């Protein structure tokens, strides 16, 4: 594939998610290059209700802002605060009532009869371990909080939140996992004029042919293949919800990233 064709392909990987009230399909096989990963955005004004039904998918929802009450599911009869999350298997549902203006990022993927209803309370005081982690060093150091951890049963999805440093890189050194998993980055807490860049490139050392996607709150960038480091502008911390979706349950692992050898050890 020529450089121009590759760039035209990668330029389609960025989308700005809707802020209008309602349930929006943002990334899906019908409208995106990802084959298994889906991302939805649910915007609920205060007092509104929404019945989330999974159909044949597993879904993992993270409350990005606001406060809601869950109901209609005996395992999820509780309130949610910012960054709390839940997981639903296929053929499940939950009613969401917004107690204040709220929005969710919701990941979806094919369900393979692995995974049960679960809820995770966001706790930034968790010690470093299986859920709360620090990745990278120096200008590539970032904080990671799993919302759907690898050890939590699920069919395809692994999800979490990442915060980079001021003007710093995340997902560095660049990595890819195209044989096993797709990924989508969903940015938040970066209101304009704050911004960052999400870089996409396909080949080892191929940064001369990369596409630099400008990102801010609400931007989503898919990574169906290739490398995908990010960098923030000065005064900005890149913050994003990320969703990994594996091509099979056996490939649902967090240790399959392949570092670009051109930049290995370059922290």
* Nearest alpha carbon to residue 97 among 123, 78, 117: 78
Query: How many structural domains comprise the chain?
Result: 1
Exposure string of 123-155, with b = 16+ CB inside 10 Å and e = fewer, is: eeeeeeeebbbeebeeebbbbbbbbbbeebebb
| 257 falls within a domain | no
In 72-195, DSSP assigns E strands to 79-80, 85-88, 93-98, 102-110, 118-120, 132-135, 142-148, 157-166, 169-170, 175-176, 181-187
* Nearest alpha carbon to residue 223 among 192, 182, 253: 182
What proportions of the chain, in percent to the nearest 5, are helix, strand and coil? 10, 45, 45
pLDDT for the residue 121: 98
| 266 falls within a domain | no
| 78 falls within a domain | yes
The helices-and-strands tally (H runs, E runs) of the chain is 1, 23
| 256 falls within a domain | no
| 95 falls within a domain | yes
* Nearest alpha carbon to residue 96 among 157, 22, 37, 186: 22
CA dihedral for 65, 70, 76, 77, sign (positive or negative): positive
Tell me the backbone φ, ψ of residue 63, rounded to 5 degrees.
-80, 110
Domain that holds residue 218: 3-121+128-250
**Mean pLDDT calculated for residue range 148-162:** 99
pLDDT for the residue 112: 98
Query: How far, in Å, CA of 118 to CA of 129, rounded?
Result: 20
Instruction: Please tell me the pTM assigned to this model.
Output: 0.97
pLDDT for the residue 98: 99
When the pLDDT of each residue in the chain is averaged and rounded to a whole number, the result is 97
**Mean pLDDT calculated for residue range 29-39:** 98
At 102, is the secondary structure helix, strand, or coil? Answer: strand
Percent of the chain with pLDDT over 70: 99
| 77 falls within a domain | yes
Dump pLDDT digits (tens) for 119-145. Answer: 999 999 999 999 999 999 999 999 999
| 88 falls within a domain | yes
| 263 falls within a domain | no
Range scoring the smallest mean pLDDT among 46-60, 83-97, 201-215, 237-251: 201-215
Question: What CATH code is carried by the domain that includes residue 219?
Answer: 2.60.120.10
Say if residue 1's pLDDT is above 70.
Answer: no
The two structure tokens encoding residue 89: 């298997």
């Amino acid at each position: 594939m020529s450089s121009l064709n590759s760039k035209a392909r990668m330029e389609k990987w960025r989308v700005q998610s809707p802020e209008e009230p309602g349930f929006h399909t943002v990334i899906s096989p019908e409208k995106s290059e990802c084959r298994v990963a889906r991302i939805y955005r649910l915007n609920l004004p205060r007092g509104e209700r929404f019945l989330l039904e999974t159909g044949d998918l597993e879904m993992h929802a993270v409350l990005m802002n606001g406060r809601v009450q869950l109901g209609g599911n005996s395992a999820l009869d509780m309130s949610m605060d910012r960054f709390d999350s839940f997981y639903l298997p296929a053929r499940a549902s939950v009613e969401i009532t917004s107690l204040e203006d709220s929005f969710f990022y919701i990941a979806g993927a094919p369900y393979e009869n692995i995974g049960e209803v679960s809820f995770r309370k966001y706790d930034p005081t968790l010690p470093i371990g299986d859920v709360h982690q620090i990745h990278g060093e120096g200008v590539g150091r970032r904080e990671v909080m799993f919302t759907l951890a690898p050890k939590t049963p699920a069919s395809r999805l692994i999800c979490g939140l990442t915060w980079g440093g001021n003007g710093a890189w995340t997902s560095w050194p660049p990595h890819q996992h195209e044989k096993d998993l797709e990924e989508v980055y969903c940015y938040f807490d970066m209101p304009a004029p704050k911004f960052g860049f999400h870089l996409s490139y396909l080949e080892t050392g191929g940064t001369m042919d990369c596409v630099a996607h400008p990102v801010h709150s609400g931007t989503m960038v898919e990574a169906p293949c290739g490398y995908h480091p990010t960098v923030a502008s000065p005064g900005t911390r890149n913050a994003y919800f990320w969703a990994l979706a594996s091509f099979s349950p056996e490939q649902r692992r967090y240790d399959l990233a392949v570092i670009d050898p051109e930049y290995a050890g370059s922290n």
